[in-house]
């Protein structure tokens, strides 16, 4: 076995982990983004119940959809912020000159965003259970599966679009305008899946919605991985 | 611009559309179940076909641009997205005019209609992105990426009527339709194709002229043609 060459550049996986660690460390030291996300999403959940009146049956029936709308709205904040830290002081150029593979930048940003959304949903679910009076019928494992797949599905195309819109004019409008139509299939299947988890799944439909989410993830993580280097090239 | 594109093609378009719609309105029989309302098919279906074709051209232009940078493919991408959005919107409006007497509603949340609406919104986002980025090179690359990601929707729209059997009918084939309806539909479709080409050519020329005007001022930015760039910079100077 040869000793590793100390000058060899780190591989894609190692670079991704280093970058992800850096992003999470920034997040941990400030905790600004996660705090903002949690309060924004909780306010959204509360607003749904105000807008629709205190009809507990209606809220309970639609809880899955409201949860995912809250996560979607919060994801726009999350994605936009993830590139703001890099555009300040031209940090992105620094990372690329390091040199880091652009695909590793994509993977680390998208994974970081997915982790934040997952942390957000871990906080939101108990709030939703309390506010809307729902029960988790088919088990916490199923719910966790949907939350993981859904967060991943929002973050892959979202990261590509956030990188684009962070450099454009009117970026606050542009990101939702590009992202929302695109993630409708993911939003639909995540909301349907969550509703099935909350209300029971007598027809065994959960698997097909999870399959749709998985397919969405495979397509958009693949496309993002291939196309992202072109987005941030100069 | 050569004479055929400037005069011949628009004349051919008018002739084909006139003939197709005359055949559809006066010659073809009314549908057994839907009656006269069905005749909107000779407008609605060709519009949607051409919208899909324009969006497919947009996808091809975007992929081509990423492989080999050229203002021509970028201008083609812009032109085809805009014309595709126009045809798709008109197709959706004619569809809902047909839907009201046939289904009783202008709009239903049918998979075909919903996926088409998503498609139109995503192309609107694409065109907005093009307006919001000033640097022409960045705009071209980014919009190509967005076009490729958005084009994943195209097959979903096309196959939606087969995947989810619902209100909207499945594509008919010449085998299942009366020959007296196939002919007007074919002629109108070719007329609409000619109209699409007329629109695309004109919009493409505008986009290309805009791009060249944008990149003519700062000399550092590339154009396709070094001679052209020299002539532009001498004009500016």
Q: How many angstroms away from the CA of B130 is the closest CA of chain A?
A: 10
A184 touches chain B (CB under 8 A): yes
Which DSSP state fits A31?
-
Higher pLDDT, B69 or A8: B69
pLDDT, average across residues A132-159: 91
Q: Cβ of A160 under 8 Å from any chain B Cβ? A: yes
How much of chain B is helix, strand and coil, in % rounded to 5?
80, 0, 20
Does residue A1 have a pLDDT over 90?
no
Q: Which residue has the higher pLDDT, A54 or B151?
A: B151
pLDDT > 70? residue B222:
no
Across the interface, whether the CB atoms of A168 and B125 are under 8 A apart is answered no
Nearest-neighbour CA in chain B from A104: distance (Å) = 18
Which of A160, A161, A169 is facing B132, going by the closest CB pair?
Answer: A169
Backbone angles phi, psi at B31, to 5 degrees: -70, 145
Q: Looking at residue B63, what is its pLDDT?
A: 95
Check whether A132 has a pLDDT greater than 60: yes
The verdict on a CB contact (< 8 Å) between B152 and A223 is: yes
Mean pLDDT of chain B: 84
Whether A92 contacts A210, CB under 8 Å: no
Q: Are B147 and B98 in contact (CB under 8 A)?
A: no
Distance of alpha carbon A172 from the chain centroid = 17
Residue A85 to residue A30: CA distance in whole angstroms: 12
HSE of A64 in the Cβ direction (CA atoms, 13 Å)?
22
A108 or B115: which leads in pLDDT? A108
CA distance A130 to chain B (A): 32
pLDDT of residue B143: 94
Q: Interface pTM (ipTM) of the complex?
A: 0.86
Given a cut of 60, whether residue A158 has pLDDT beyond it is: yes
pLDDT digits (tens, 9 = 90+) for A102-121: 899 999 999 999 999 999 99
Best probe of the B interface among A162, A177, A219, by most B CBs < 10 A, is: A177
Looking at residue B234, what is its pLDDT?
Answer: 45
In total, the C-beta contacts within 8 angstroms joining chain A to chain B are 61
Nearest chain A Cα distance for residue B68, angstroms: 12
Find the CB nearest B145 among A177, A180, A227: A227
Q: Which of B62, B64, B78, B207 is nearest to B149 (CA)?
A: B62
Q: Is a pLDDT exceeding 80 seen at residue B177?
A: no
pLDDT greater at residue B60 or residue A31:
B60
Instruction: Give the per-residue pLDDT at B181.
Output: 81
Rounded average pLDDT over B25-42: 81
User: A37 and A78 in contact (C-beta within 8 Å)?
Assistant: yes
Instruction: Give the gap in angstroms from C-alpha B61 to the nearest C-alpha of chain A.
Output: 15
Please tell me which of the candidates B142, B144, B149 has its beta carbon nearest to residue A223.
Answer: B149
> Which of the given ranges, A12-21, B55-64, B183-192, has the highest pLDDT on average?
B55-64
Q: Which among A170, A184, A231 is the nearest to B145, CB-wise? A: A231
Q: Distance between CA atoms of B63 and B57, rounded to whole angstroms?
A: 10
**Closest in A178, A182, A230 to B129, CB measured:** A178
Within 8 A by CB and 6+ apart from A116, the residues are A27, A33, A34, A37, A78
Weakest-pLDDT range from A33-37, A64-68, B83-87: A33-37
Do B60 and B69 contact (CB within 8 A), yes or no?
no
Question: Band of the pLDDT at A69, cuts 50, 70, 90?
Answer: very high
Q: Does A34 touch chain B (CB under 8 A)?
A: no
In this structure, what token pair is assigned to residue B31? 């549908």
Going B189 to B190 to B193 to B195, the CA torsion angle's sign is negative
Task: Check if the beta carbon of residue B47 is closer than 8 Å to that of residue B91.
Answer: yes
What is the pLDDT confidence band of residue B113, given thresholds at 50, 70 and 90? Answer: confident
The pLDDT value given to residue B237: 37
Q: What is the pLDDT of residue A170?
A: 80
Residue A61's pLDDT is what?
87
Most trustworthy range by pLDDT among A28-37, B116-125, B189-198: B189-198
Give Cα A67 distance to the centre of its chain. Answer: 13
| pLDDT tens string A119-130 | 999 999 999 988
Q: Which chain A positions have a beta carbon within 8 Å of B144's beta carbon?
A: 230
What pTM, to 2 d.p., does this model score?
Answer: 0.84
């Amino acid at each position: 076995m040869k000793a590793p060459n100390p000058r060899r550049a780190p591989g894609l996986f190692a670079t991704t982990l280093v970058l992800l660690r850096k992003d999470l460390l920034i997040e941990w030291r400030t905790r600004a983004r996660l705090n903002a996300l949690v309060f924004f999403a909780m306010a959204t959940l509360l607003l749904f119940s105000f807008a629709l009146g205190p009809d507990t049956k209606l809220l309970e029936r639609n809880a899955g959809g409201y949860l995912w709308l809250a996560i979607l709205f919060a994801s726009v904040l999350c994605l936009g912020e993830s590139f703001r830290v890099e555009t300040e002081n031209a940090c992105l150029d620094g990372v690329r000159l390091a040199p880091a593979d652009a695909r590793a930048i994509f993977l680390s940003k998208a994974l970081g965003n997915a982790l934040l959304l997952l942390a957000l949903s871990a906080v939101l679910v108990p709030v939703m259970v309390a506010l809307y009076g729902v029960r988790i019928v088919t088990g916490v494992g199923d719910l966790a599966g949907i939350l993981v797949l859904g967060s991943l599905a929002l973050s892959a195309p979202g990261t590509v679009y956030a990188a684009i819109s962070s450099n454009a004019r009117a970026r606050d409008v542009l990101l939702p305008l590009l992202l929302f139509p695109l993630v409708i299939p993911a939003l639909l299947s995540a909301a349907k899946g969550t509703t099935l988890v909350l209300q029971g799944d007598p027809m065994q439909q959960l698997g097909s919605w999870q399959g749709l989410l998985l397919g969405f993830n495979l397509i958009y993580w693949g496309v993002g991985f291939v196309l992202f280097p072109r987005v941030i090239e100069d | 611009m050569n004479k055929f594109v400037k005069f011949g093609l628009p004349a051919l378009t008018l002739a084909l559309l006139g003939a197709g719609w005359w055949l559809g309105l006066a010659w073809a029989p009314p549908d057994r179940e839907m009656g006269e309302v069905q005749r909107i098919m000779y407008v609605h279906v060709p519009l949607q076909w051409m919208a899909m074709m324009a969006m497919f051209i947009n996808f091809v232009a975007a992929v081509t641009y990423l492989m080999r940078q050229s203002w021509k493919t970028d201008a083609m991408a812009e032109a085809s997205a805009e014309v595709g959005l126009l045809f798709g919107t008109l197709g959706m409006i004619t569809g809902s005019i047909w839907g009201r007497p046939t289904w009783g509603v202008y709009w239903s949340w049918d998979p075909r209609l919903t996926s088409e609406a998503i498609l139109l919104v995503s192309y609107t986002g694409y065109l907005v992105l093009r307006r919001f980025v000033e640097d022409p090179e960045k705009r071209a690359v980014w919009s190509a990426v967005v076009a490729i990601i958005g084009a994943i929707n195209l097959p979903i729209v096309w196959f939606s009527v087969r995947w989810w059997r619902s209100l909207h009918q499945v594509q008919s084939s010449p085998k299942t339709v009366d020959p007296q309806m196939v002919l007007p539909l074919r002629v109108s479709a070719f007329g609409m194709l000619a109209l699409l080409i007329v629109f695309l050519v004109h919009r493409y020329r505008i986009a290309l002229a805009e791009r060249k005007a944008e990149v003519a001022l700062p000399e550092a930015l590339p154009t396709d043609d070094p001679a052209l760039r020299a002539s532009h910079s001498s004009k500016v100077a």
